[in-house]
Amino acid sequence: MKSISDYSTMVEEAIIEKDYASKTPESLYGPVAYGLQKGGKRIRPVLLLMAAEAFGKNPVECLDPAVGIEMFHNFTLLHDDVMDCSDMRRGRPTVHKKWDGNTAILSGDTMLTLAAQLMMNVDDSRLRCVLDVFNSMSVAVYEGQRLDMDFETRDEVSVEEYLDMIEKKTSALLGASARIGAIAAGASEKDCGLIYEYGVKLGLAFQIQDDYLDMFGDPATFGKPIGGDVLNGKKAFMLVSMLERGGSDADALREAMKMPPSELKVNTVRSIYEHAGMPELCSRTIGEYSRKSLKALRSTSLGEEARMPLERLVDKLIDRKK
Amino acid sequence: MKSISDYSTMVEEAIIEKDYASKTPESLYGPVAYGLQKGGKRIRPVLLLMAAEAFGKNPVECLDPAVGIEMFHNFTLLHDDVMDCSDMRRGRPTVHKKWDGNTAILSGDTMLTLAAQLMMNVDDSRLRCVLDVFNSMSVAVYEGQRLDMDFETRDEVSVEEYLDMIEKKTSALLGASARIGAIAAGASEKDCGLIYEYGVKLGLAFQIQDDYLDMFGDPATFGKPIGGDVLNGKKAFMLVSMLERGGSDADALREAMKMPPSELKVNTVRSIYEHAGMPELCSRTIGEYSRKSLKALRSTSLGEEARMPLERLVDKLIDRKK
């Protein structure tokens, strides 16, 4: 049985082989290659390859769609970093910081089309289906990003609205990764639906873990500055959960959020979260979504052995530190 | 025989029917609908429909790809206007001016994926071919835009480099529009290649006309401020032609281009262009490309009657005032 790192090595090598750095104009493709460099977790392409192999396809035949899904993910990072004015990602300057905003926009656009091209390397009989999933997922991601931006200027956002937003912005991509792998392998429609559900629920657990790490992660391993969500006024999981719950902790949080951006603000908000038991709520919620993810996976026609890498991915993602 | 305005009315109605303005979140789709509003020339979708009908397909069956190609064009405008800091387009504020840069980026991304979805409404047997043309054209457009940006900071750009750049940035899209219509209609590979050539050469004539109008157009009808290329340091046709030719007019032009952006600068450059016979050079070059475009068209297997709307489009585009 392949380990997670076996799959990610396959992805890494496939990306290197594409050699985007040598394409011209270098001013367009250099940032594409930089965005794709080692450092990301490669979760999405790994998920695609794992799902393909679980349903009986040689994952080597799915490397192009796998690189395509990683390309899509990195396209969204280039544009999100411009929109969020984020200067650091994975411990390195972002494209708009290293080059400029226009470069991040245009090389990002290029990555979206390159992703669509890579996604087309599937059998003719599965092409329309794969692209339908890819395009619908893309639109969901844009809608999620838009909602995330709109939430920043709203006073209150319900937990339900927050979950709808992250399902679109983050989870749809994990769901689509797994689904495209399954489609490429010729899985039944029912299995494709269940594996999508597995990916979506995994994605929800993943995003809540991300929100938790943004506040309680180790700055040395997280790759981004700690407290970014609080400093950028993002309506992340702990914030919306506390405000919806109400009470004196929520009042204190509301006051703290009025502070100007500073380390003090981040530390104040962190103390309030700790006092209100937010780390425990995160951990409980992550556990719930992980169980739902595994339940969907176990409802597929896959046998225990075929399922195993996908089960281990769930454990790995919720134990991560970055 | 349908007139050009019959085709553009079909496009207009198809866009209205899509009703993007009513989709949610409105903050994402409102700018999409705004970008697509009446005011554009609709040349690209008209070309797609004309090519489809010329090769025997009912154009009504190609309305989705036609709207898709217009959607793609408008996606590039949203992003180009951010990159060029252009505030006006078609006599109206641009999306990044009316909303903001982030909105133009994200709604632009959405338009690219919506375009790809619309492009898929063709027969299964032609899907891969249509998407290959669409994606290759998209990459060419990004490369062209990148070269255009890179040229701004270079002292000298040859006419050959300039023509390569506009072939990618502008002409590839016109070529692809015609080609996709022909593919959808089941035209032979040879005819698809020739109709692409027709569109590319038409696009070159079109872009040189655009460069001419940017300097010599009527502000009342052009839709954009006159002299934008000069003010933005764009290496447009007349500039690169004069600098390559050299001599005293070129020296005067080089001096004038050092002036700070102002109406005086635009007027000075215009006088130099007039003195050097640039309007005549534009007109001659546009004529040459129009003839090449018509030659490719007349080399297809199309009869005279089928060709007629496509021939008239050439005349119409090179006589335009906006």
* Per-residue model confidence (pLDDT) at position B67: 98
- Of the given ranges (A29-43, A139-153, B24-38), which has the lowest mean pLDDT? A29-43
Spacing of C-alpha B78 from chain mean position? 13
Averaged over A47-74, what is the pLDDT? 98
Instruction: Tell me the per-residue pLDDT of A107-131, one tens digit each, with 9 for 90 and over.
Output: 999 999 999 999 999 999 999 999 9
Instruction: Residue A135: list chain B partners with CB under 8 A.
Output: 113, 116-117, 120
Rounded (5°) CA angle B84-B86-B87: 155
pLDDT per residue of chain B (322 residues) written in tens, 0 to 9: 899 999 999 999 999 999 999 999 999 999 999 999 987 789 999 999 999 999 999 999 999 999 999 999 999 999 999 998 888 888 899 999 999 999 999 999 999 999 999 999 999 999 999 999 999 999 999 999 999 999 999 988 999 999 999 999 999 999 999 999 999 999 999 999 999 999 999 999 999 999 999 999 988 887 777 898 999 888 999 999 999 999 999 999 999 999 999 999 999 999 999 999 999 999 999 999 999 999 999 999 999 999 999 999 999 887 766 6
- Of the given ranges (A132-141, A287-296, B225-234, B237-246), which has the lowest mean pLDDT? B225-234
Structure tokens at A282: 């995160």
* Per-residue model confidence (pLDDT) at position B220: 82
- Write down the H helix ranges in chain B: 4-18, 26-36, 43-54, 63-83, 95-98, 101-119, 124-152, 159-166, 172-184, 189-216, 219-222, 228-231, 237-245, 248-256, 263-275, 278-298, 304-318
Averaged over A254-273, what is the pLDDT? 95
> What CA dihedral angle connects A27, A28, A34 and A35, to 10 degrees?
150
From the CA of B191, how many Å to the nearest CA of chain A? 24
Is residue B47 within 8 A of residue B178, CB to CB? The reply is yes
- From residue A33, alpha-carbon distances to A21, A85, A107, B140, B227 in Å are 5, 21, 10, 18, 36
Q: Do A27 and B150 touch (CB under 8 A)?
A: yes
Q: Do B105 and A105 touch (CB under 8 A)?
A: yes
pLDDT at A138 over 70: yes
Domain ranges in chain B are 4-318
Residues in A lying within 8 Å of B, measured between beta carbons: 25, 27-28, 79, 82-83, 101-102, 105-106, 108-110, 112-114, 116-117, 120, 124, 127-128, 131-132, 135, 138-139, 142-143, 145-147, 149-150
- From residue A258, alpha-carbon distances to A216, A233, A242, A254 in Å are 21, 10, 16, 7
Instruction: Tell me the per-residue pLDDT of A211-240, one tens digit each, with 9 for 90 and over.
Output: 999 999 988 887 777 898 999 888 999 999
Spacing of C-alpha A218 from chain mean position? 19
Structure tokens at B293: 């475009």
Maximum C-alpha span of chain A: 60
Is residue B144 within 8 A of residue B172, CB to CB? The reply is yes
Instruction: Specify the CATH class of B4-318 in words.
Output: mainly alpha
Q: Pick A25's closest partner by Cβ from B101, B102, B147.
A: B147
Q: Do A112 and B117 touch (CB under 8 A)?
A: no
Averaged over A64-80, what is the pLDDT? 98
Q: Which residue's structure tokens are 């990002």?
A: A108
Length of chain A as a residue count: 322
The pTM assigned to this predicted structure is 0.96
From the CA of A148, how many Å to the nearest CA of chain B? 11
d(CA B198, CA B216): 26
Is residue A320 within 8 A of residue A218, CB to CB? The reply is no
Most A CBs within 10 A among B71, B100, B109, hence the mutation to make, goes to B109
ipTM score = 0.96
How does residue A321 score in pLDDT terms, banded at 50, 70 and 90? Answer: low
Smallest CA-to-CA distance from B310 within B167, B194, B178 is with: B178
* Per-residue model confidence (pLDDT) at position B321: 65
Averaged over A133-139, what is the pLDDT? 98
- Of the given ranges (A28-37, A263-272, B169-178, B224-233), which has the lowest mean pLDDT? B224-233
* Per-residue model confidence (pLDDT) at position B221: 81
* Per-residue model confidence (pLDDT) at position A89: 86
* Per-residue model confidence (pLDDT) at position A86: 87
